[in-house]
Structure 1
Amino acid sequence: MKKIFVNIGLGILGLFLVLLIVGVIYENLGRRNAAQNFPPPGKLVDIGGRHIQLDCRGSGSPTVVFQSGLDMAGSLSWSAVHDEIAKTTRACAYSRAGIMWSDPNEAPQLAKSIAEDLHAALKNANEKGPLVLVGHSLGGPYNMIYTKYFGADVAGLVFVDTSHPDQISRGKALEALESNSAPSNRNSEWNWSAFLYKSAAALNWTGIVRLDAAMEEKEENRPESDDQAVKAYSSTTISSVLKEGDAFEQTLNEAGTFRHLGDRPIVVLTMVRPVPKQESKFEKALRENWSRMQADQAKWSSQSQHQLVQNTSHYIQFDQPAVVIDAVRSVISKVREK
C-alpha cells in the first residue's frame, strides 16, 4: 500500500514538472513572438542605461504628451485619439518603465522618478516644449507631479476622468461611515486580489500570466491589434503595474502637494454613468464624491473648463474619443493664443 502512495506521489510530481517545463517553453516562445509580431511604435529612447518607448507623430507646437492610467496598455491607451491630434500638432504617447516596450526600473515606481523618466525621454528624443499634458485616471496625478518639477515646460493640461489626490482619504471616510451601519469585507477582498496578482507576477516565467491573458475576452472598444499586443506583453508588464499600484497612495499624496496651475488652460472631463434604479446609499455617496473631486480639479486653474461626459465608462478616450480630441484641441488653441 505504501508503495502505491509513493508511486502516486511521484506521478503527480512528474506531471507537475512536465507542466512546468511546457509553461516555461510557452512563455519563452510568447516573448519571442511578441517582439516579432508587435514591435514598438515610435522608438526606444535611451535615458541612461534604460530605454523608454516614445511614439511621436505629426508636427507643430505645442507638443501634446499622453499619460496613461494604471493599466497595462502604455502608449496604446491613446490609440483612438493619437492620430487625430497628430493632424493638429506634435503628439507623443509613451509607455512608463516596465510597461509594454519600455525597460523596467529596478527602483520603486515613485511618481518623481516617473516624471524624471518622461522628462529625460522627451529631452533625449529632442522633443520640444511647450507641452500640453493629457492624462487618464492615475495619469492625472502623474501629470500634476510632472508639472510640479518641470512646470516651465507645461502650458496646458487635459484631465480624462482622472484620480484626485484626496480620493483615498475620502474613500476611507465613506467606508468608515458604511461600516458603522453594515459590515464590510472590501478590505479583505482587495487584499486577496492583490495577493493573487502579486503571486501571478512572481510566477510570470511559468507562462501563467500569458495563458490567463490569452483566455480573457477582448477589452471593449480597444482595437483588435492593440488588444493582442497588450496580451502579448502582459507577463512582462504586470510587475511594473503592480509596483505603481504599491506606490498609489504615495503618488496621490505627492500630487496633493501641488494643486495650483495658475492661468494654464485646462479641461476636466468627467464620466457620468446612468444612475441605477436600485442604488445603495453608499454607491450614491461614492458617485457624488467622485463628482465633487472632479469639480475640485477644475478649480486648480483660473482658465478651466469642466465637461460632464454622459453614458461612458472610465475610458472616455475609447468610448467617446471625439470628446477627448475636442478637449485637447481646445487647450492647444488657447496655448497658441498666448
Structure 2
Amino acid sequence: MDLADGPGRILRYEQSRWSEMSRSGIVRRGVRRGGSGVRGGILGPAGILVAAALLGTACSASATHSSLSADASTPAATSFARMVDIGQGRKMYLECHGSGSPTVILVPGLVAAADTWRYVRGSAGAMKASSSAVYPGVGRFTRVCSYDRPGTAREGGKFTPSTSVPQPTTPRGDVADLHTLLSTAKVPGPYVLVGWSAGGPIVRIYAGEYPHDVSGLVLVDAETEFLQSRLTPGQFATFLALERKDDKKRIAQWKDVERQDPVTVFRQVRAAPPVPKVPVVVLTGDEFDPRAFRARLPAGAPADYPQVFWRAQLASQGDLARTFPGARHVTKTRSDHNIQNNQPQLVIDAVREVVEKARRQESGRPSAS
C-alpha cells in the first residue's frame, strides 16, 4: 500500500496499508510525520499502514551501492551490493555488510526497497541517508543484509532493477524468492529476520517454513492478520477499497509496481507453520494523523473510520505480540508506521537484543529474560 504522491514518493499502504505515508513514499512533503497511519500509516499492513510508507528510495543509494564490492560469491566478502541470478531468468538485488553471526536480514515493507533501512527522517521532515540508520547501525555488531523485491522503488523514485514478475505477489512467493536468494548468494545462517510492515508476514512465514534457519524475529509495525478480525466485515471492506484506490495511483506511476491482496496475505499467514520458539521483539507505531488518513478514504467511508481503524490497528498489534510467548512489545515508539526512519535506534536496539539472545542460546547459555 504505497502511493506515490510526488516525484520519488510512494504512498505505502503497509499497515492497514494504513499509513505508511511517512516513509518517503507517496506522500507529499507537506504531510507531517504522524499523518499516515499504518502501511504508510494507514494504508495498509505491510503495506498495511496507509499513509506513508513510502517508496523506499534510493536517491543516494545508487552512489553508495556502486562503491561496494560486486563480489558476493563468498560469505567472507565484507561488503557487497549486486544483482543475484536466482534462476528462471530472474535476478534480485542484494546488499550485505558487516561480520558476525547470526546474520540479520532486513525485509522492507510493500513497494519499499533495501535502501529504506539506510535512511532517517531529519528534524525538518526530509529523508536523508545516515550512519545512524538501521542498516549501518546493525552492521556495526553483526552481518546484515537487505534486498529489493520485484516491483519495489527506492528513495527518490528509482524503480528497482530486480526482475519484474506478475503482480500481485504473495507472502509465500516472497518467502520462496528470499530463500533462493540467500541460498544462491551463500549468505550464511542462522538468520534474525526483521520485517517492517508488509515484511512482517514474510518473515513469519519464512520462520515457520525454515525453523532451523531462524534464530530470532523483530517485527517493525508489521502487517498482521489480526487487523481483519478487529474490524467488522463492513469496516474491512472499506479498508480493501482504500487499498484498491492506492493501487491505482501506484500503477499509474510504475506499471509493474508491487501489489498484494490483504485477504490472501492474511489467509497465508494463518495457514503457515508456527514460528519456532525464538526471541521476538514487536515494535508498534503510536502516532496517527486522522485528518491525513481521512483524506485518503474512498467516497462514502464513515466519518469516524479513521478512529475505528486506529483502534483496530493498535489492538491488532497487541494480538500479534501475544502470539509469541515471552515477546517484548514496545508500544511507546514516538513514531508513525515508519519506525525504522523516524526512530532507527529503537530498531537497532531491538535487533541487538534479539541477536544477543540468539548468541547465548547458540552457545548453550540460558537467555536473559
- Superposition TM-score, scaled by structure 1 size: 0.68
Aligned match of 1:333: 356
Counterpart for residue 76 of structure 1: 115
1:89-104 counterparts in 2 under 5 A?
89-99=142-152, 100-104=160-164
- 1:125 and 1:265 map into 2 onto residues whose CA distance is 26
* Alpha-carbon distance between aligned partners in 2 of 1:65 and 1:260, rounded to the nearest angstrom: 19
Gaps of 5+ in 1: 1-33, 177-183, 201-208, 210-234
C-alpha distance in structure 2 between counterparts of 1:188 and 1:323, whole Å: 33
Q: Deviations over 1:172-192 (max 9, x none)?
A: 43628xxxxxxx987766555
Tell me the C-alpha RMSD between the 2 structures.
Answer: 3.1
Contact 2:167 2:257 in 1 (8 A): no
Query: What residue is the counterpart of 1:117 in the other structure?
Result: 177
How far, CA to CA, are the matches of 1:112 and 1:120 in structure 2? 12
The letter of the residue matching 2:149 is R
Measured in 2, the distance between the counterparts of 1:131 and 1:43 equals 20
Distance 1:190 1:258, change over 3 A: closer
SS in 2 for 1:128: coil
Structure 2 distance, partners of 1:124, 1:194, is 32
CA offset digits 1:249-290 (Å, max 9, x no partner): 21221012237434210000011127879x975433322222
Question: What is aligned with 1:61?
Answer: 101
- Equivalent residue letter for 1:78: W
1:46 aligned onto 2:85: yes
* Count of residue pairs the alignment pairs up: 258
**What is aligned with 2:201?**
141
Secondary structure class of the residue paired with 1:102: coil
Show CA shifts across 1:134-189 (max 9, x none). Answer: 0111110111111222222111100000111132353343628xxxxxxx987766
Among residues 267, 277, 290, which one is paired with 2:281 in the alignment? 267
- Give the structure with higher Rg (CA): 1
The structural deviation recorded for 1:330 is 0.4
Alignment partner of 1:293: what SS?
helix
> What is the distance in 1 between the residues matched to 2:245 and 2:217?
36
Cα distance in 2 for partners of 1:323, 1:154 equals: 21
The one-character-per-residue Cα deviations of 1:185-208 (angstroms, maximum 9, x if unpaired) are: 87766555544443x2xxxxxxxx
Q: 1:35 to 1:78 in 2, by over 3 A?
A: closer
1:249 aligns with 2:231: no
Distance across 1 between alignment mates of 2:306 and 2:62: 45
Aligned counterparts, 1:158-197, within 5 A: 158-173=218-233, 175=235, 191-197=244-250
1:314 aligns with 2:337: yes
TM-score, structure 2 normalization: 0.62
Give 1 or 2: higher helix fraction. 1
State, as a whole percentage, how many aligned pairs show the same letter.
32
Deviation string 1:75-97 (CA, Å, 9 cap, x unpaired) is 01111210110111010011112
Looking at structure 1, the residues matched to 242 and 331 of structure 2 have their Cα atoms a distance apart, in angstroms, of 31
Structure 2 unaligned runs (5+)? 1-59, 69-80, 119-132, 153-159, 295-302, 362-369
Residue 216 of structure 2: aligned partner: 156
In structure 2, what is the Cα distance between the partners aligned to 1:35 and 1:106?
26
Show the counterpart of 1:220.
Answer: none
